[in-house]
Structure 1
């Protein structure tokens, strides 16, 4: 059973019982990832290590290595 199928079943059950529907699958994924990143940064700060990810600067350089080209309309 997929997550969306389970969500639809839970939504139906909630409507039958007069309860609020559950949150859709994936709604809180970004918030969870941000919380994990914040916790990792906090732990690094407590240990005295740099709080940024060591590959973040390299990834930024890789993604922005080509100059922006003008779009032809």
Structure 2
């Protein structure tokens, strides 16, 4: 079952129970990624392991 089918099933169940419909899939993706990036920038890695660095090889 993919995300769209699950969303349709959840919407149907919510309608049958008189509950509000769930948000569509992918609605909060941009906000979640932005929050994760900000967390990564503001919380330095621990001293146990060195931080991973991006490769700069050509």
Q: Indicate the TM-score class for this superposition, using the shorter chain for normalisation.
A: 0.7 to 0.9
Unaligned runs of 5+ in 1: 45-53, 56-73
Unaligned runs of 5+ in 2: 45-52
Which ranges of 4 or more aligned residues in structure 1 deviate by more than 4 Å?
none
Question: TM-score, length-normalised on structure 1?
Answer: 0.58
Aligned residues: 46
More helix by share: 1
| Larger RCO, structures 1/2 (Cα 8 Å, 6+ apart) | 2
Question: TM-score, length-normalised on structure 2?
Answer: 0.73
RMSD: 1.5
